[in-house]
Structures are given as C-alpha cells and as structure tokens.
C-alpha cells in the first residue's frame, strides 16, 4: 500500500505526456501470491478512497465547485452507497441558514451530500461529517492575496469523508456508516454575508457573525444538527480544515482532536497510531465557551485571539446534543508542502485510512462529558 501511495501523481491538466512515468520491475518471491486474494482487493479499495480524496484536493476551484463535487459523490452509488444531494432550495426549506449564509456571495450554489452505507444490521450508523469549502477567499473579511491559491484545499474534510465512504463501500464493511458533507464557496460579493449579520441555524440557535473568514464552523453547525436529528447516530466524527490556530498549536505532525467521549477519543487515537494518521486530544470546557457569548444573539461564532482552535470546537459542540462526538481539526494534515516516502506534495488524503480503521475496529461508545456552556 505504501508503494501505491508514493506513486500517486495528479496529472489531469497536463497537455503533454508526463515525465513522472518510470519503468519499474517488481520481483516478489513467494509461493502464495494471488492478486485476487481478498486482502489485496481490500487494500486496493482502501487506496482508491485515499486517491479520490487526494484528487479532490488537487482540483482547482473553477473545476471543483459544490455542484460538481456533489455530482462526483453521486457516482459512488455504483458501489452501493445511497447518495442524496440537497440544493439551496432544499436546505432553505430545512432552515439551514448558517450554511447557506456562507455561500450567498458566490455565483455557485451550495450543496449538502448524504452518502449512506448499510453494511450492518439494524444498529444506528456511525456518522462521518466533513467541511467542504471548495474555495475560501475569506468573503468580506478577505484573506491576503499571497497564498490564497492554496484555499482550494479548504474542502479537505469533505474530501476525507468522501474518500472514506468510497473505501468503506468498496471494501464492503459490515457496519452502518453515513457520510455527510457541506459544500460551499466563500466569496465576496454585493450579496455576501457581512460581519455583524445574525443568522438562524437549522437548530434554531441564532449566530452573530464576527468574521466571514471563520466560515467552516457555520457550515458544520447545520450539517451536524441535520446529521444528529435525521440519523440519530451512535457517534459522530467531523473533519475540517478549520483553524490556522491548530497548525500553530500542533504544527503539521498531528490533527487536533476534541471529544465529549473518552471511548471515542481512545478509538480514534488507536486508529491514528495504526494508520500513521495521528491525532492529539485537545481540551473543551466552560471557560472557552464563555468566549462565545454574544450581546445580540444566542452565540457568536468566534472567540478571542487565544485558543482559537478550541473555541472553534466549542462552537461546534453547541450543535451536538446527546451524541458521542469528536471533531478533528485537520488544517495541518490535509495538505503537505513537501513530498515524503508515502505522501505527495499537495493533497495527502489524510483521514481516509484513519476513518476506515475506526470503523474496522468499532466498539460502542458513550457520552462522558456533557457540554459545559
């Protein structure tokens, strides 16, 4: 699998033959080699999921916008996934105005995609939720121009969930799993969301907008609420390239993990270690929630300058009620500035193997730490 991973190249937009192709002869000494062996097929399906996540990350934003992303997800129905796509009108009817507010400055409509895998019995599914900002300009709170081209990868959480669901279906795992992704483009425009706006989320909570470049948590707020109320999952894991503060705290060695469940946290840590996609648990708590108090709405969506990744996670926690939940801030892991022996420069596909290992070894969990807001 490592050899397949290191051989990955994204070459869709080259007009001339690739110079990356090489003639390699592989000699395997064994009396029991069978390419059709179930273990080989399983690894191939897993790598297909990783490669899909990487492909999605590499795509430029003029090619991969919310509707196109959703269409690619619909193609996974051939693997047995039940795929449902909600457009702007459907989400507006549900009251998903936190998500829709992020995308209202873009000429591209937003989408939410649900990918349902019914591989188990009658048990509630494990839910995987991903942030999919296909391009993040910052909106009215515009980002600096330098480095903005990298903001095409702000859909890394959605890419990881999509790749994970492709692998789960391709491997035929005997568990019920549902993947949900919120897809938006965050752009400045005369109709764009403004700092000081107040939006009503699907949960009914009102949110004061402070900075339109803190958009991903608004997307996740509605998707998390929809997920919990619609599917009543036994646990939820969300993934998002959510905060630069996470990179400041942990660098690019770990994803930050926040959870209300010790059992879920332990399983994610074990899965991360086993797949070399490590996570590091971070705190939640009342003191951080206090930073989110608003004078004009139920909550404001960012806190003060300190502990930004923690207050972002606390904001998300307000949109999960009684379900064991974990948030993975993968800002430092979804994209790599350099190639390694197994990871290309660019989109890493981080999270696909971790989530598959989590489902492989899944054990029921409980909520250990009720919200202290």
Return the closest-CA partner of residue 254 out of 319, 309, 214: 309
Three-class SS of residue 28? Answer: coil
Considering the candidates 111, 131, 166, 217, report the single residue annotated as catalytic.
217
131 catalytic residue (yes or no): no
Helices (H), the chain: 2-6, 38-58, 66-74, 88-94, 97-103, 156-171, 216-231, 244-250, 262-275, 286-289, 308-317, 352-360
What token pair was written down for 293? 């108090």
Token pair 């591209």: residue: 108
Token couple for 44: 């191939």
Q: Phi, psi (5° rounding) for residue 126?
A: -85, 135
**Strand ordering across the sheet containing 198-200:** 198-200, 206-208, 299-300
| Other CB atoms within 10 Å distance of the CB of residue 4 | 15
- Phi/psi for 333 (5° steps) reads -115, -20
For the chain, counts of helices (H) and of strands (E): 12, 13
Helix (H, G, I), strand (E, B) or coil at 94: helix
- How many whole angstroms separate alpha carbon 233 and alpha carbon 312? 22
Q: Which of 143, 205, 252, 281 is the catalytic position?
A: 143
Residue 329's SS3 state is strand
Q: For residue 159, what is the enclosing H or E element?
A: helix 156-171
3-state secondary structure of 371: coil
Told to judge if 54 belongs to the known catalytic residues of this protein, a careful annotator would answer no
**Catalytic sites, residue numbers:** 143, 217
């Amino acid at each position: 699998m490592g050899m397949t991973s290191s051989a990955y190249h994204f070459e869709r937009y080259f007009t001339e033959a690739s110079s990356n192709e090489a003639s390699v002869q592989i000699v395997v000494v064994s009396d029991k080699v069978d390419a059709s062996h179930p273990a080989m097929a399983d690894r191939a399906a897993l790598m297909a999921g990783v490669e899909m996540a990487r492909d999605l990350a590499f795509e430029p934003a003029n090619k991969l916008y919310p509707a196109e992303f959703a269409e690619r997800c619909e193609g996974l129905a051939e693997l047995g996934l039940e795929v449902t796509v909600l457009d702007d009108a459907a989400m507006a009817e549900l009251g998903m105005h936190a998500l829709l507010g992020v995308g209202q400055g873009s000429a591209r409509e937003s989408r939410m995609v649900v990918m349902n895998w019914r591989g188990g019995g009658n048990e509630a599914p494990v839910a995987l939720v991903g942030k999919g900002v296909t391009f993040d300009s910052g909106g009215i709170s515009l980002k600096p121009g330098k480095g903005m081209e990298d903001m095409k990868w702000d859909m890394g959480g959605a890419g990881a969930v999509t790749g994970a669901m492709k692998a789960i279906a391709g491997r035929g795992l005997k568990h019920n799993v549902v993947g949900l992704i919120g897809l938006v483009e965050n752009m400045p425009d005369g109709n764009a969301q403004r700092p000081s706006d107040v939006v009503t989320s699907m949960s009914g909570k009102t949110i004061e907008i402070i900075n339109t470049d803190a958009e991903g948590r608004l997307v996740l707020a509605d998707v998390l609420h929809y997920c919990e109320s619609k599917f009543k999952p036994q646990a939820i894991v969300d993934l998002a390239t959510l905060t630069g503060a996470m990179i400041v705290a942990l660098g690019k060695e770990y994803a930050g993990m926040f959870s209300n469940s010790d059992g879920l946290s332990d399983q994610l840590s074990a899965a991360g270690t086993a797949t070399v996609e490590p996570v590091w648990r971070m705190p939640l708590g009342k003191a951080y929630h206090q930073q989110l108090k608003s004078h004009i709405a139920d909550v404001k969506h960012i806190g003060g300058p300190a502990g930004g990744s923690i207050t972002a996670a606390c904001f998300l926690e307000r949109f999960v009620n009684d379900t064991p939940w974990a948030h993975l801030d993968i800002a430092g892991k979804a994209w790599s500035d350099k190639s390694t022996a197994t990871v290309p420069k660019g989109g890493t596909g981080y999270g696909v193997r971790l989530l598959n290992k989590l489902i492989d070894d899944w054990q029921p969990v409980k909520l250990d730490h009720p919200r202290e807001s």
